Amino acid sequence: FQYCLSGHPTLPCNVLKFKSTTIMLDCGLDMTSTLNFLPLPLVQSPRLSKLPGWVLKDGSTFLDKELKECSGHVFVDSVPEFCLPETELLDLSTVDVILISNYHCMMALPYITEYTGFTGTVYATEPTVQIGRLLMEELVNSIERVPKAQSASMWKNKEVQRLLPAPLKDAVEVSMWRKCYTMPEVNAALSKIQLVGYSQKIELFGAVQVTPLSSGYALGSSNWIIQSHYEKVSYVSGSSLLTTHPQPMDQASLKNSDVLILTGLTQIPTANPDGMVGEFCSNLAMTVRNGGNVLVPCYPSGVIYDLLECLYQYIDSAGLSSVPFYFISPVANSSLEFSQIFAEWLCHNKQTKVYLPEPPFPHAELIQTNKLKHYPSIHGDFSNDFKQPCVVFTGHPSLRFGDVVHFMELWGKSSLNTVIFTEPDFSYLDALAPYQPLAMKCVYCPIDTRLNFIQVSKLLKEVQPLHVVCPEQYTQPPPTQSHRTDLMIDCQPPPMSYHRAEVLTLPYKRRYEKIEIMPDVSNA
Amino acid sequence: MPEIKVTPLGAGQDVGRSCILVSIAGKNVMLDCGMHMGYNDDRRFPDFSYITQNGRLTDFLDCVIISHFHLDHCGALPFFSEMVGYDGPIYMTHPTKAICPILLEDYRKITVDKKGETNFFTSQMIKDCMKKVVAVHLHQTVQVDEELEIKAYYAGHVLGAAMFQIKVGCESVVYTGDYNMTPDRHLGAAWIDKCRPDLLITESTYATTIRDSKRCRERDFLKKVHETVERGGKVLIPVFALGRAQELCILLETFWERMNLKAPIYFSTGLTEKANHYYKLFITWTNQKIRKTFVQRNMFEFKHIKAFDRAFADNPGPMVVFATPGMLHAGQSLQIFRKWAGNEKNMVIMPGYCVQGTVGHKILSGQRKLEMEGRQILEVKMQVEYMSFSAHADAKGIMQLIRQAEPRNVLLVHGEAKKMEFLKQKIEQEFHVNCYMPANGETTTIFTNPSIPVDISLGLLKRETAIGPLPDVRKPKLMHGTLIMKDNSFRLVSPEQALKELGLAEHQLRFTCRVHIQDPRKEHETALRVYNHLKGILKDYSVQHLPDGSITVESILIQATAHSEDQGTKVLLVSWTYQDEELGSYLTSLLKKGLPPSTS
């Protein structure tokens, strides 16, 4: 059986019952819910504090403390909250193990391990855990450093929610939304993780064997094989066939699967990552040449390594060598350092560099030559060193919390500046909504290296699973491009689809089981 | 009977030139390919002609595994692969793959450029050899071919050192390489799961030593260095570029910092900086503490330790010098030693094991007059100290590893025969397993008793477990099925399925037994008596009286007929199929005992 606990196709959370073992596959945290909230400013923002309260059509004002209006959009004035995976569909204390495929897909882990009576083990690779910890640390830090007196809850009342404008009206299960976890909870959750390596066979209760395989998407990212002697379920989540920094995807080991669960495909199927990187560089160069600043809202790990590598090759030829690059995050230093020590998880080219021995990523040199500087926050050293025009990499990509909020307020009024969106997780228009009206230029260069539909159909032809299971979003063209029938999974037999809170019976059939005969019997 | 054969080509009752051949379930694996520091002739490399006299080694070996980068474990590799000829896979961990070629090149330079030897492997050969290397992750199961798989475990001896499990089907061997069971200043402790191999091949360098606490040794070391420096003497510490060197550097660095000492510390050879860089990049292979703090402070960036220049050796005043190689058999450490040996104020500290034949071994065994090249006699007046900092498991550690892995047999290598003998007895006493210690070229054969994996059809399994009482771990249970051996696979299926698959018609084998009973009554009355009797005894079985007068117990048929001659005797025909043999013969013997007196 498969229980689907998250409706988000790239931040999955499924539970598989297989041979009396209950296995949770990923626990992604849907953070798009934060887009409904007002940003958390690091310094008092007169603009945000002067926003008018929202008034109902009939003139009643009882919600004007909780909801504020900005350029026609309504936002909740409260600590941002996240949409958790379903916790009611099955008793989560019965989950035996959790398999994590990459650091983006573990952000709900503390909610599961600390609140549900979970007593099992979590399996993940070392880079996944280390970088996952950094992402969580950054998240907790950026929310906790801006204490908010008010915690809005009236709007969540079902009767009230009905009266609100979209998208608040249509938000699902708002009563289940939760505030961010704390660092002690993060540490407790991470202490339940057991580290594993690629192609390591892990026995679960002697009944099931699970194996992580390289998925090519991020440092330490993995797909999982869940098998008994005669059934094989492949869980493909966030895979990439592009050559960026991680070890290439292991496709061969996915062959002969009875069932292949396919999640984490690209969120921007129409954009070519290489082209986007080119556009990113040229927009950045243009803005800086005109004396403007560039803001890149990003996660502290992942694509940023590739962007820095591109810039390393690009800045001299583009005459940008005197422009300072700033990377601001409470975990910036750790992220840059950690990236250099995972040689074994990197692509071949980077591994060869480590053998020399040289740091695998060129951002080491950018730091050494003072072209790239990193700071834990805008406070402290940064305010002394800060020179404009410059390029700033900082989080969070939702533009609702973190140092990025400050730069949006600071640079938003000038059309010389540009904000370049590279992370594909949030709609950039929604992210910008509470900052409108905005004079700053906005460029959308989403870089999503995960599999696109052409690569998926090639992959499926190659590994030939008997059945494919995927989120329902992948079985139809995207709602905004309903004519693009090429933007869906096409395979035979047609994939079985699932949606949030659905239980699916997976089609596998066993005919044999393994036993052992003692040698004495065979001699007789 | 299946067997595992082990032949050491090196490291059999000896330290150095580690090279062990293992044959397991038709697969041949070579473990390590080292050189011997004590020899300069043919004996420095293993004798590969043992594997084959002519033809390439590739045909005889399925794979080669290198446990770590020390030359006594990998020094013969380019000779083996490029000069003798081997093109198969060579497995080692990532750090070993990174560092190994550098030490090999260093070794080649000393041998060819300094000693002027010819017919030695070249730089190009080292490169070609390294192309055949496949890097493995810890705990990754590497499928060498369809049957043979290997898996690396952390060994803690030096950066990237690993133990390897070699497995074919149910049979397995674990080779430890060199390992350390106690975490030190920069590495963690060796670890293995309870994998219960048929054979554990373990090193036994410190087979009889139980070392005192690490802290005492460290304090001793620092005290000696400090005293010598205080009285204006020079301290020479011969080390290998990677391994103990980093450990002792961390130790001295923190001590100098704490005591605010000014005497210079040097590290010879250009390798150092490079070496420390490897430690920084492979920091995930070091111990917990270093890994946790590396973002704030990298332990491998030293403040007090500077690069050494040859001219410094003649400088007046105190100093501490780390110089390579570690056994004083060649190179810079030997040069400095010759310069300083005459002065009793100076001190040489040997922090590791020295192989027989090396200068290090000679001075440690008390020799004070050394014959150097050109019949020159060198008198050693400087103080000679030995301090075991080499990261090998001691006797306690070896026993601990055996306890962890629970092998069925143990084989000792990489140690001295006398000490091995002692450890062997201890292992046999404590664990009640066989322990072997073959010499070089001697083959040890171990018999294994692997169980046979069989596929059972799920239908049969369900049917057979449904019959009778619920399964109970304490009670054995009989199961009927047909074993089909076809295409090298074994399947246990129901007889019907087997017949169908093989296209055979079913033949039934039936037994019929006559039992005579004295009973003058009519046949159907006798039958009724038999029925009542059996019904009373066989409570758990289905006993039926059919309308035609016959009785069935499960599928066994009983009929009563009159004796043709004697009316007072009735004949019971008991008939059963071969499958019901057990119940059938039981019933027969039961009926032979007669019927109880009739109550009617």
For residue range B458-471, what is the model confidence (pLDDT) as tens digits?
A: 888 887 777 766 66
> Least CB-CB distance to A197: which of B139, B455, B490?
B139
Q: Is residue B244 part of a domain?
A: yes
Same domain membership, residue B116 and residue B245: no
In a domain, B598, yes or no: no
Q: Mean pLDDT over all residues of chain A?
A: 91
Cβ separation A511–B492 shorter than 8 A: no
Residue A513 lies in a domain: no
Q: Is the model's pLDDT at B599 over the cut of 60?
A: no
Considering the domain architecture, whether residues B434 and B498 belong to the same structural domain is answered as: no
> Residue A519's CB: how many other CB atoms inside 10 A?
15
Contact A513 B456 (CB under 8 A): yes
Report if residue A63 sits inside a domain.
no
As a whole-number percent, the residues of chain A with pLDDT over 90 amount to 69
A259 and A348 fall within a common domain: no
Does A201 sit within 8 Å of B142, measured CB to CB?
no
Annotated active-site residue B301? The verdict is: no
Considering the domain boundaries, does residue B599 fall inside one? no
Looking at B386, B419, B437, the residue that finishes a domain is: B386
List the structure tokens of A97: 């193990």
Same domain? B563 vs B440? no
Tell me how far apart the alpha carbons of residues B301 and A484 are, in angstroms, rounded to a whole number: 57
Residue A516 lies in a domain: no
- Side-chain half-sphere of A63: how many Cα atoms within 13 Å? 24
Give me the catalytic one of B171, B203, B218, B464: B203
Q: Do B243 and B174 share a domain, yes or no?
A: no
Return the H-helix or E-strand segment holding A70. strand A67-70
Residue B450: closest CA among chain A residues belongs to which residue?
Answer: A519
Band of residue A501 on the pLDDT scale cut at 50, 70, 90: confident
* B235 shares its domain with B373: yes
Of B29, B98, B92, residue with least CA distance to B62: B29
Q: Which residue in A342, A357, A518 is closest to B278 by CB distance?
A: A357
Distance from CA of A189 to the nearest CA of B (A): 18
Task: Write out pLDDT tens, residues A457-484.
Answer: 999 999 999 999 999 999 988 888 888 8
How remote is the C-alpha of A225 from its chain's centroid? 22
What is the distance in angstroms between the Cα of B469 and the nearest Cα belonging to chain A?
Answer: 21
For A195, name the nearest residue in chain B, comparing CA atoms only.
B139
pLDDT at B471: 65
Q: Are residues A337 and A235 in the same domain?
A: no
Best of A125, A128, A515 to mutate (most B CBs within 10 Å, chain B): A515
Q: Where are the alpha helices (DSSP H) in A104-162?
A: 109-115, 126-144, 158-161
Chain A hits for B135, Cβ within 8 Å: 344, 351
Q: What is the CATH number of the domain that holds B579?
A: 3.30.310
| CB < 8 Å to A353, chain B | none
A113 and A180: one domain? yes
Of B141, B274, B456, the CB nearest to A199: B141
Q: What is the pLDDT of residues B70-92, one digit of tens each?
A: 999 999 999 999 999 999 999 99
Least CA distance to A127: which residue of chain B? B284
The percent helix, strand, coil of chain A (3-state, each to 5) is 30, 20, 50
pLDDT band with cut points at 50, 70 and 90 for residue B216: confident
Cβ contacts of B278 on chain A, cutoff 8 Å: 357
For residue B600, what pLDDT is reported?
45
User: Across the interface, do B454 and A515 touch by the CB < 8 Å criterion?
Assistant: yes
**Is residue B168 domain-shared with residue B238, that is, in the same domain?**
no
Query: pLDDT tens-digit profile of B249-275?
Result: 888 988 998 899 889 999 876 566 777
In this structure, the answer to whether residues B125 and B186 fall within a common structural domain is yes
Residue A134 sits in a domain of what CATH number? 3.60.15.10
Q: How many domains does chain B have?
A: 4
Instruction: Please give the pLDDT value at position B269.
Output: 64
Count of other CB atoms within 10 angstroms of residue B163: 28
Could you read off the pLDDT of A249-284 as tens digits, one per residue?
A: 999 999 999 999 999 999 998 889 999 999 999 999
pLDDT at A522: 65
pLDDT for B192: 95
At residue A524, the pLDDT reads 54
CB within 8 Å of B474: residues ≥ 6 apart: none
Q: Where is the domain boundary, B342, B364, B386?
A: B386
Range of A87's domain?
2-36+81-268+450-504
Q: What is the mean pLDDT of residues B343-358?
A: 85
Q: For the whole prediction, is pTM greater than 0.90?
A: no
Q: Is residue B257 part of a domain?
A: yes
Q: Which range, of B118-132, B396-410, B558-572, averages the lowest pLDDT?
A: B558-572
CB-nearest partner of A357 from B98, B284, B450: B98
Chain A closest-CA separation from residue B213 CA (Å): 30
Question: How far, in Å, CA of A9 to CA of A28, rounded?
Answer: 10
Domain annotation covers residue A314: yes
Interface residue of A209, A354, A511 to substitute, partner B, most B CBs within 10 Å: A354
A516 contacts on B by Cβ (under 8 Å)? 170, 451-454
- Kindly state whether residue A120 falls inside one of the protein's structural domains: yes
A510/B452 Cβ within 8 A: no
Arithmetic mean of pLDDT over chain B: 87
Shortest distance, CA B441 to any CA of chain A (angstroms)? 32
Say if residue A165 is preceded by a cis peptide, omega within 30 of 0. Answer: no
Residues A262 and A283 in one domain: no
CA distances A452 to A242, A248, A428, B192, B249, Å, are 11, 16, 21, 41, 51
Tell me what pLDDT residue B40 has.
Answer: 81
| Chains A–B, number of C-beta pairs less than 8 Å apart | 96
What is the reported pLDDT for B270? 59
Tell me which chain B residues have a C-beta less than 8 angstroms from the C-beta of A209.
none
Same domain, B369 and B486: no
Domain presence at residue A53: no
* Claim to verify: residue A349 and residue A390 sit in the same structural domain: yes
Asked if A341 and B281 come within 8 Å (Cβ–Cβ), the reply is yes
Searching chain B, which residue's CA lies closest to the CA of residue A214?
Answer: B140
CA atoms of B9 and B441, how far apart (whole Å): 5
Rounded to whole angstroms, how far apart are CA atoms B232 and B280? Answer: 34
* Residue A465 counted as domain residue: yes
Lowest-pLDDT choice from A225-234, B13-22, B478-487:
B478-487
- B30 domain-assigned: yes
A298 shares a domain with A234:
no
Q: Which domain covers residue B273, as residue numbers?
A: 214-386
Residues A433 and A465 in one domain: no
CATH code for position A301: 3.40.50.10890
In a shared domain, residues A190 and A296 = no
Q: Locate the chain B residue with the closest alpha carbon to A230.
A: B455
Q: Is residue B352 part of a domain?
A: yes
- For residue B6, is pLDDT > 50? yes
Distance from the first to the final alpha carbon of chain B: 64
A289 and A391 both lie in a single domain: yes
Same domain, A454 and A440: no
Residue A328 and residue A454 in one domain? no
* Contact (CB<8Å) A510/B451: no
User: Does residue A287 share a domain with residue A432?
Assistant: yes
Which residues in chain B have their CB less than 8 angstroms from residue A214's CB? none
CA-based nearest residue in chain B for residue A334 = B295
Averaged pLDDT, B299-323: 86
Is the CB of A514 less than 8 angstroms away from the CB of B454? yes
Question: Which chain B residue has its CA at the smallest distance from A200's CA?
Answer: B140
* Whether the predicted pLDDT of A507 surpasses 90: no
Considering the domain boundaries, does residue A517 fall inside one? Answer: no
Q: Other C-beta atoms within 10 Å of B242: how many?
A: 25
8 Å CB contact of B284 and A201: no
Which residues does residue B514 pair with via DSSP β-bridges, in sequence order?
Answer: B573
Tell me if B94 and A334 make a contact (CB, 8 A cut-off): no
Number of structural domains (chain A) is 2
Domain boundary among B471, B502, B533: B502
Query: Which candidate in A228, A517, A520, A522 is best for mutational testing of the B interface (most B CBs within 10 A)?
Result: A517
pLDDT tens digit sequence for B492-523: 888 888 888 888 888 888 888 888 888 888 88
Give the CATH number of the domain where residue B362 resides.
3.40.50.10890
Q: Name the minimum distance, in Å, from the CA of A106 to any CA of chain B.
A: 21
Mutate to test the interface with A, among B271, B277, B281 (most CBs of A within 10 A): B281
Shortest Cα distance, chain B CAs vs residue A199, angstroms = 5
pLDDT at B66: 97
In B, what residues contact A, Cβ < 8 A? Answer: 94, 97-98, 135, 137-142, 170, 274, 277-278, 280-284, 294-295, 449-459, 461, 490-492
B345 within some domain: yes
What is the pLDDT averaged over residues A17-32?
Answer: 92
Contacts of A211 in chain B (CB under 8 A): 141
Q: Indicate yes or no: CB of B140 within 8 angstroms of CB of A334.
A: no
DSSP states of B406-467 as a string? --SEEEEESS-HHHHHHHHHHHHHHH--EEE-PPTT--EEEE----EEEEEEHHHHHHHHHS
To the nearest whole Å, the CA of A279 is away from the closest chain B CA by 33
